[in-house]
Structure formats: C-alpha cells, structure tokens
Amino acid sequence: MSHPENVLVLPANTQPAAFKDLVQAEAGLVLVDFFATWCPPCQRLVAEIPNLAGEYPKVKFIKVNVEENEAVASQFNVSSIPHVSFLKAGDGQPQVLETIVGFNLAKIKQTLQSLS
C-alpha cells in the first residue's frame, strides 16, 4: 500500500533517540499514531491517515506499531491505543502539544485544524 509523501511508517525496533531526531528534523506539526495490528479502532484510524495527510500536506504523519517499537511507545507513556500525539520540534526534545486516546476522528481533525 502506498502512502502520501507526508506519511511515514516507523521501521520496527527504531530507537527512541532516532525517533526524537526524526521529529526534531520536521519544521512543522507532527502527528504520531501509536497503533497495533490487532486493535480494530486502530485499524479504522490507520485507514483514515492517508485522507488526513491529503488534507494537511504540511503535517508529518508517523505511524508507530507499538508491538514493533515498544521503547518509543514507552517514551510517550502509551498505555491505551489508539494513542495520537501531536508533536513539534522543541528545544532539544520534541514537545507534546496534545494527546488523544481512543478513536475520535472529529477531535483529531479539530486538533489538526487548530495546531496546523
């Protein structure tokens, strides 16, 4: 399945430092979707990401499989999924602007609109 240019699927076993560098390299807003393949609400959100990416081409979307990237998920205190974090490059560390837990497409769209 092809993804829009502004969508990245985080490779398995990415180290937290490499993830931090990835976010820090972005000039604008970064939406991180923490998901698992066995989670039906997660799969609904994963299916919406390409549409959202098309609507918000200046936002970087990063999909993180929590089972393949436990260290990154742990860094963001992910305990329930889907878990969406809105990040921006900060002073040496990504800054979390907003977090939404659960499948709430309306709130995700509203947050994208207000932050981007």
User: Alpha-carbon distance 41 to 112, whole Å?
Assistant: 19
Residue 94 DSSP one-character state: P
Question: Residue 20: which of 69, 83, 79 has the closest Cα?
Answer: 69
Active-site option among 7, 30, 32, 42: 42
Please name the helix (run of DSSP H) or strand (run of DSSP E) that holds residue 107, with its range, or none.
helix 105-115
Question: Of 9, 39, 97, 115, which residue is the catalytic one?
Answer: 39
Burial (CB < 10 A; 0-12, 13-18, 19+), residue 57, is exposed
Residue 51 falls in the annotated catalytic set = no
Q: Any catalytic annotation for residue 72? A: no
> In 10 A of CB 71, how many CB atoms?
12
Q: Which residues are catalytic?
A: 39, 42
